[in-house]
Amino acid sequence: MDPDLAPPAGADLEIPRTLLITLSGNDRPGVTSTVFTTLSRYPVEVLDVQQIVLRGRLILGVLVTAPREWKSLREAVTSAGNALGMGVEVAKGTGDTATLPRDRSRITILGSPLRPGALAAVAGRIADLGANIDRIERMARYPVTAVEMQASGADPERLRAVLAQEAATLGIDVAVQRTSLTTRGARLIVMDVDSTLIQGEVIDMLAALAGCEAEVAGITERAMQGELDFEASLRARVALLRGLPESALEEVYSQIVLSPGAQTLVRTLRRLGYRFAMVSGGFTQITDRIAQRLDIDFAVANTLEIIDGHLTGALVGPIIDRAGKAAALRRFAAEAGLGTAATIAIGDGANDLDMLAAAGLGIAFNAKPLVAQQAQTAVNVPYLDSVLYLLGISREEVEAEDQSAGFTTPAPPVGS
């Protein structure tokens, strides 16, 4: 027996209620099997088990009820562990880990790079609120570093507000979600299109072909300053496209570039039974083709009027504005047989704010400061598949599934 584990005189007279057995050392086959084979010789109940491996180093923790002959068990486990070259610690106690606090949160931290000081600051704010970090796990190493913490003991809404301020100071992204069954079931992803699902703005691309970029940009700026509402600004900008040939839409579509990670996001979540919707203030002549390309379940956008092969400068049908986007989210959720708590909305503009607020989880993606401040969660890295990490899906899991399906994934950067 390791002399460092020998109890002080008189300390072993009382039988403890539980024993926490911790092994650490170089990972090798048979460690877990050996530990449980040893424990099987004693009348104990396994209360909890946790095991992690970090770059070949294993840490295994087992919480068991303590038998009357607990000292014999301690010696047996220590001997078995030492024979495997593992350090062993056996701690007496009375507690169990079965009772979980009601206030439990999943905290996802994204950084490129992610520095130790940032993690220290986040952990410090969690501690300031009286919460405890129960588990930490890396979700991705590239193209961004993503770490997930599970914390308990603090109201998730309060935690979100405090960590949002810390994230802004540190230049990282921090997402806080309440842990619940809703986050583990079927869900609906509702995405804005321009500058979210795709790079750039379709109306700006059309304006470039029509030779009215400056005029369209001026109207957009007036809308951003609050001088025009979305519908008025949209109609004014579309009016400038009058006479543009319908073939311009084909040219614009050929120039569409999906945001990095968009296809990975859709492909991965489809495997898990998620459904997708596109809700856009753009134009159906473009969005419908993108929806077909990505096999999106639901899509809604505005429609340009075309007569005799040319844009008339008018729109057909109801306008999909800020309120219309939120209404579409609720409608699509109902059609999918889901409540709004099971929806995730992703957008970048003020026009998306009602939709982001209506969703179970609203994500501001590379958004304007006002939008990022009002959304539940902000992601400021250019990779749309970073949303996967917020849902507890690691980069390694994504790549493993892609490889088994025959998809190729980029190699990690040197040193990762």
The residues annotated with a catalytic role in the active site are 192, 194
What residues have CB less than 8 Å from 10, skipping those under 6 apart? none
Phi, psi values for residue 68, rounded to 5°: -60, -35
Query: What number of helices (H) and strands (E) belong to the chain?
Result: 15, 15
Report strand pairing: 57-65 vs 343-347.
unpaired
Bridge partners of 58, per DSSP, are 25, 53
C-alpha 416/C-alpha 412 separation (Å) is 6
Using alpha carbons only, how large is the chain's radius of gyration in Å?
27
φ and ψ at 303, to 5 degrees? -125, 125
231-239: list long-range contacts, CB under 8 Å, 24+ apart: 231/319, 231/321, 234/281, 234/302, 234/315, 234/319, 234/321, 235/314, 235/315, 237/203, 237/207, 238/203, 238/304, 238/311, 238/313, 238/314, 238/315, 239/313, 239/314
Residue 5: DSSP 8-state: G
Alpha carbon distance 362, 257 (integer Å):
24
Strand 361-365 to strand 343-347: parallel, antiparallel, or no bridges (unpaired)? Answer: parallel
**Secondary structure in 3-state letters for 32-95:** HHHHHHHHCCCCCCEEEEEEEEECCEEEEEEEEECCCCHHHHHHHHHHHHHHCCCEEEEEEECC
Helix (H) or strand (E) run with residue 280 in it: strand 275-283
Contacts of residue 11, defined as CB under 8 A and 6 or more positions apart, other chains included, come to none
In 3D, which of 188, 183, 383 has the Cα closest to residue 296? Answer: 188
Token pair listed for 203: 């109306």
DSSP letter, residue 187: -
- Unique residue bearing structure tokens 């994500």: 363
The span from the CA of 320 to the CA of 373, in Å, is: 23
